[in-house]
Structure 1
Amino acid sequence: MPEPQRVTVFLDWQNVYNHAREAFHSRSDAHTLGQVHPLDLGLTLAAMAPAGIERELTCVRVYRGMPDQQHDPKSYAAARRQIARWTKDERVVVIDRTLKYPPGYRHGTSDPALVKEKGIDVALALDFAVMASDNRYDAGILMSCDHDLLPAVERVVQRRKTRGEGPRVEFAAWQSPIRRSPRMRMPGENIYCHWLDQTTYWGLQDDRNYTHPSPADHPPKARA
């Protein structure tokens, strides 16, 4: 019996979050809506294998921006709590880069839209291509709509086509019940996309407000 395919899921976190809000929520909804549990998302995608193929989730890689502790200590602390919860399972790996703030930015008074991610797409693209070359996954599922990632995807796809080796590439996207849903597309290639509908989303949702500490963040110490 063949070994299960090793699945690595690559999540462009801000993209995943923003498109979940667009697909299933309104702009006025609480900021916690749109969050999902990365491990549960990864397990769901790994289970959506083509007929006759057995798969096993080996890694969920989450690429995200990290608030700066000096510019926005509250959001920084919330992000640390969120990451700590995600990484309780060793299959979840978080790759973060500090957000970039314009000169004179003041949290609470400056426009938050001025804060930008920098280096996230580069890190994701590099890992996607290098890990494929190193044979670290058999199926790579990318959840993002950032077409800056396409050169890395193309490299992996072309290697599989021309050499007959390397992992299978698949995409994932949210499927809104009421509006057109964006997804990653690669010109000239028919790459399979896993559509995740509203029912699936509800099962993955994480509605915790991480700006508020929880007793679970600081478990009681064992007695001597």
Structure 2
Amino acid sequence: MPPTRVVVFIDYQNVQYTARGLFWPEDPPPPRTAGHVDPVRFAELLCDLGRDRDPTRVLAGVRVYRGQPVAGRSRDNAVRFFDRQVAHWQQEDTIELRSRPLRYHRAANPDGSEYWAGREKGVDVMLALDICVGARSNSYDIAVVASADTDLIPALEDAVSVGKWVETATWQDPDQIRGPLRIRGFNLWNHYLDHSHFDLVRDDTDYLEPLP
């Protein structure tokens, strides 16, 4: 029997920000490394969690989607942290990074001073397209989508419509009302991840410090 090819699609900001909000108190402010995960270990965990149902699962790819801070708009530390973290990721052949520059607008601090606030734009579109194209080009058998972004639902529906199995992954939040992604007529299997799972995949590396 041929192996079941699993590709994990990681909405990195969604994964990191949710973990930081769940597993770190707001006071004192969390460190800049809070919520970060190692994409390969994270993807391997999600592949392993489904082996009880299908022991032939193999990790065939790790796709990471995130916004890229822009020099002159984001803080210099944010740009350097991103660049060094990404350079570290790219030492792994399994990881494919898909990024777009952040979009910026002026925002005000409590003291009235202004700064440039960045937000992702178009990252979810890239992720959705890759889910659809991968399904229709038969580049995976199972897509595991680590995100709670409802804009991805049409892409999940499209993958299911051509016979692909789709799973999702979310950090388990007892206060979350919306819950994981759902599509009509198909029982999406969601991996509920807690603090013990996070500890297996967390990346506490401060990429502003010299790496060993």
Q: Scaled by the length of structure 2, what TM-score is found?
A: 0.88
Structure 1 range deviating more: 137-146 or 179-188? 179-188
CA contact 1:23–1:179 (8 Å) conserved in 2? no
| % identical equivalent positions | 34
CA contact 2:19–2:35 (8 Å) conserved in 1? yes
Q: What's the CA shift string for 1:63-87, capped at 9, x where partnerless?
A: 0000002323331121011111122
Question: What is the CA–CA distance in structure 2 between the aligned matches of 1:45 and 1:16, rounded to whole Å?
Answer: 13
Partner of 1:110: 114
Partner of 2:196: 199
Measured after TM superposition, the shift of residue 22 of structure 1 is 2.5
CA contact 1:121–1:148 (8 Å) conserved in 2? yes
CA contact 1:66–1:97 (8 Å) conserved in 2? yes
Question: What is the CA–CA distance in structure 1 between the aligned matches of 2:165 and 2:135, rounded to whole Å?
Answer: 9
Q: Does 1:6 align with 2:5?
A: yes
Q: What's the CA shift string for 1:135-157, capped at 9, x where partnerless?
A: 10111000101101111111111
Pick the structure with more strand per residue.
Answer: 2
Superposed, 1:113-128 pairs within 5 Å as: 114-128=117-131
Partner of 1:35: 36
> Which of 56, 68, 78 is residue 66 of structure 1 equivalent to?
68
Q: Does 1:187 align with 2:184?
A: yes
> Which of 202, 209, 213 is residue 209 of structure 2 equivalent to?
213
> Which of 89, 94, 101 is residue 91 of structure 1 equivalent to?
94
> Which of 52, 55, 68 is residue 53 of structure 1 equivalent to?
55
Measured after TM superposition, the shift of residue 180 of structure 1 is 3.8
Partner of 2:25: 26
Q: Does 1:143 align with 2:146?
A: yes
In structure 2, runs of 5+ residues without a counterpart are none
Measured after TM superposition, the shift of residue 127 of structure 1 is 0.5
Question: What is the CA–CA distance in structure 2 between the aligned matches of 1:4 and 1:105, rounded to whole Å?
Answer: 53
CA contact 2:107–2:115 (8 Å) conserved in 1? no
**Greater Rg, structure 1 or structure 2?**
1
CA contact 1:8–1:140 (8 Å) conserved in 2? yes
Q: What's the CA shift string for 1:49-71, capped at 9, x where partnerless?
A: 24243111111100000000232
SS in structure 2 opposite 1:115? strand
Q: Scaled by the length of structure 1, what TM-score is found?
A: 0.83
Q: Does 1:81 align with 2:81?
A: no
> Which of 142, 153, 169 is residue 172 of structure 1 equivalent to?
169
CA RMSD of aligned residues (A): 2.1
SS in structure 2 opposite 1:75? helix
In structure 1, runs of 5+ residues without a counterpart are 161-166, 217-224
